[in-house]
Amino acid sequence: METHFAEIQVGHVAISEPLIAIAKSNGFEVESSEGKTVITAQLGKVTFEGNDNYTHITFSSETKPQLQLFKELYASRIASLDLEAEVKWDKTDASTPLNQIRCQISSCKEISKNFSRLTLSGDFTTFVNPVAGLHFRFLIGPTDSKFPTLDENGLTFWPGGLSKWHRPVFTVRKLGSSAEWIDVDIALHSGGRTTEWLKDIKIGENIAINGPSGSKMPKADKMFLLGDETAMPAILRIIDNTSAYEEVNAVLALRDQEDLQPFTSNKKVTVETIDMKEEQGLLNALENKIEFMSDSFLFFAAERSQATKARELIKAANKSVGTSRISAYWTRK
């Protein structure tokens, strides 16, 4: 377990109450007793212990990348309460954020009409951890900027300011057997910031990413995976990792059917492709399959409005879906 500590010159009740409200609104577990509060979230546990004058805060997570994300999330929430000046963090000697991986571009090639594959070389062992998320963020900063570093409080310092950095989220499509490389498949869009960035990268160039992040690899006897082209790398990686007894029903909305990539599967895996131009296609597919989703795992990822409608469909159907993960991967402008 990885830990980091802080103290705040604010009473236990005053600091914990607003944070408890946020945690409960997100569905996280909260345990409270006199002078102590423990919030258990996806990234770890945060414990507040104190009195009317000060509070000791302990952050604990299973991995270092999770710990970095966790404490920065709470640093942001404390700042939103105008209390950041009251916080005293334990000092750290590290200089690189715990969730940052510095790596090298080893290849970039078009693999279909609308996709490029970027191969990055480096140490990606943190992605092997069973609790590791499937995703990461590219760190694309201002021209000639240095990589983000840690300040003395163990929080990330962003050269030029965080707002100057483009940090798109992508999925690890494949991971080397010794975690020495990853493949990243990128859907190409004219004028897209990541697409434009790809045009200027150089083989051998050093870059930085933040990760792992997001949801971990799902495990279920029966899974329904629906998404548009931006979710295809995640869906196909999940399929690649299914075992012989897991049943998978996948629907992919693609601009071009030839963009469908090869994947490892067994006899219990079916993959259907539909035209991405049909905006209701994925939602129609979801609606048609809801009645078969009892006690299953559901993954749905697409444009924001479609993700919202998918949640509404699940709620209105009043069916026992099991576990669902519905995400907005992009927003229509």
Predicted local confidence at residue 210, as pLDDT: 97
Predicted local confidence at residue 166, as pLDDT: 96
Residue type, 14: A
Domain ranges within the chain, ordered by starting residue: 2-89, 100-214, 217-330
Predicted local confidence at residue 323, as pLDDT: 86
Residue by residue, what is the 3-state secondary structure of 88-141? EECCCCCCCCCCEEEEEEEEEEEEECCEEEEEEECCCHHHHCCCCEEEEEECEC
CATH (residue range 217-330): 3.40.50.80
CATH (residue range 2-89): 3.30.310.50
What's this model's pTM, rounded to 2 decimal places?
0.91
Report the relative pairing of strands 36-41 and 115-121 from DSSP bridges.
unpaired
What's 309's DSSP letter?
Answer: H
Predicted local confidence at residue 279, as pLDDT: 85
Tens digit of each residue's pLDDT, the chain (333 residues): 899 999 999 999 999 999 999 999 999 999 999 899 999 999 999 999 999 999 999 999 999 999 999 999 999 999 999 998 899 999 888 899 999 999 999 999 999 999 999 999 999 999 999 999 999 999 999 999 999 999 989 999 999 999 999 999 999 999 999 999 999 999 999 888 999 999 999 999 999 999 999 989 999 999 999 999 999 999 999 999 998 889 999 999 999 999 999 888 788 999 999 999 998 999 999 999 998 898 899 999 999 999 999 999 988 887 677 788 999 999 987
Domain 100-214 falls under CATH 3.10.129.10: no
Predicted local confidence at residue 119, as pLDDT: 98
Q: Are 75 and 84 in contact (CB under 8 A)?
A: yes
| C-alpha separations of 54 from 173, 268, 280 in Å | 46, 57, 54
| Among the listed residues 51, 50, 57, the one whose alpha carbon sits nearest the alpha carbon of residue 5 | 57
